[in-house]
Amino acid sequence: MGIIFVKDREGNSHKLEAEAGSTIMEIIRDAGLEIEAACGGCCACATCHVYVDEIWYNKLKTMDEEENSTLDEAFHVANTSRLCCQLEFDDKIDGIELTLGPETK
């Protein structure tokens, strides 16, 4: 078990337990935080957009073309934006800090 830290859209911080092999999207959704994740993790909708804290961004696997293309559909994309359905939790990112992106509605 590990930990991720998530800031919601209201600025509240949440410390969530994370299990290796789960995606960050699944961890956030299962904790009951407001994340739409409309496509269920298929990298097809950009509703799981997050901003990764800069110190953690380069520790993530490189974004592939599919994620990059889908991320174009998100609002307010930044240099540290990722789709959390594409980020699998493991011990290398234990303690990662991220912020939920804006709603897509």
Q: Which fold has domain 2-100?
A: Ubiquitin-like (UB roll) (3.10.20)
Per-residue model confidence as pLDDT tens digits over 60-88:
999 999 999 999 989 999 999 999 999 99
Rounded to 5 degrees, φ, ψ at 98 are: -145, 165
Per-residue model confidence as pLDDT tens digits over 36-65:
998 989 999 999 999 999 999 999 999 999
- Please provide the DSSP assignment of the chain as one string: -EEEEEE-TTS-EEEEEE-TTSBHHHHHHHTT-----TTSSSSSS-TTEEEE-HHHHTTSPPPPHHHHHHHTTSSS--TTEEEGGG-B--GGGTT-EEEEPPP--
| pLDDT for 103 | 83
Domain boundaries, the chain: 2-100
Q: Model pTM?
A: 0.94
User: pLDDT-based confidence at 105, cuts 50/70/90?
Assistant: low
